[in-house]
Amino acid sequence: MHIDYTAEQTAMKPRLEAANINPTSFLATDYLNHFNEIVMLLEMVPDMPEMIEETYEWAPKPYSQHFLDSGFQAKELAVEAYEKAPAPIRSTFESVCGKLDGLVTGTIESLKKVNAAERGLSEPARLFIGKRIEEIQGLLMKLNQVIHGHLDEQLADMVPDTPDSVATDDESAHTQAEIDALFDE
C-alpha cells in the first residue's frame, strides 16, 4: 500500500527515526509492552493459578495514554506522531488494537465468570487460556507489522472497517460455549 505523506509528516520523519518511532507508520513498538505484559501473566496462570487475580488488573489503554504514563524518553513526540500518523495506518492499527482489547478483556472476564481464582483451573480452563494466548499473540504479530509500516492489502483486509466490531455473533456464541465448557469440570 502506497502512502502519500503530507509535508508536515515528511518533515517529522527524521525526528521520529532518532526517537525510535517508526518513520513509516509514525508508531512506536513500546506500545506492544502493554499487551506483552498481560500475555506473560496469562502464560503463568496454568502453572501458578494464584497469578490469575493479577490479570484482573489489566485494562485497555489507548496508545497516547500508554506513552503519557510511560518512561519512554520521547513520549510527547510519540503522542504527536500518533495524532499525525497516516490515516490508513492509524485506522488499521486502531482496528487491530480493538480486536486485541476485546480478546484480552473477554478472556479475563471468562476467567472471572468461572471464578477461576477461587475454584482453580480445570483442564478445559487451561486449554482455553492456551488457545486465547495463541490468538492474542497472532494479533500482536499483526500489530507489530502495522507498527513497522508493513501495511499491505492482505493485512488491511484482515481487520474490519469498524473498530467496535470486536466479535461477531458467531464469535460471541463460540466464546460462550467455551465459557460453558469451563463450568463443566
Look at 125-134, 157-166, 176-185 and tell me which has the smallest mean pLDDT.
Answer: 157-166
- What's the distance, Cα to Cα, between the start and end of the chain in Å? 48
Q: What proportion of the chain, given as a percentage, has pLDDT over 90?
A: 68
Q: Rg of the chain over CA atoms, in angstroms?
A: 18
Q: In Å, how far are 1, 92, 109, 138, 150 from 153, measured between CA atoms?
A: 7, 11, 33, 18, 10
Grid cell locating 108: 479475563
Distance CA 19, CA 180 (A): 47
User: Distance from CA of residue 120 to its chain's centroid?
Assistant: 26
**Which residue is it, cell 478445559?**
124
Higher pLDDT, 86 or 120: 86
Which pLDDT score is estimated for 175?
58
Provide the 10 A C-beta neighbour count for residue 85: 22
When pLDDT is cut at 50, 70 and 90, the band that residue 161 belongs to is: very low
**In the prediction, which pLDDT does 121 show?**
84
Across the range 62-83, mean pLDDT stands at: 97
Select from 137, 58, 49, 153 the least CA-distant residue to 100.
137
The reported pLDDT for the residue numbered 176 is 59
Return the domain boundaries, the chain: 28-61+86-184
In whole numbers, what is the pLDDT of the chain averaged over residues? 86
169 exposed, middle or buried (CB, 10 Å; 0-12, 13-18, 19+)?
A: exposed
| Burial (0-12, 13-18, 19+ Cβ within 10 Å), 7 | exposed
- pLDDT tens-digit map of 27-56: 999 999 999 999 999 999 999 988 999 999
Confidence of residue 134 (pLDDT cuts 50, 70, 90): very high
pLDDT > 70? residue 155: no
Q: Which three cell numbers stand for residue 99?
A: 480486536
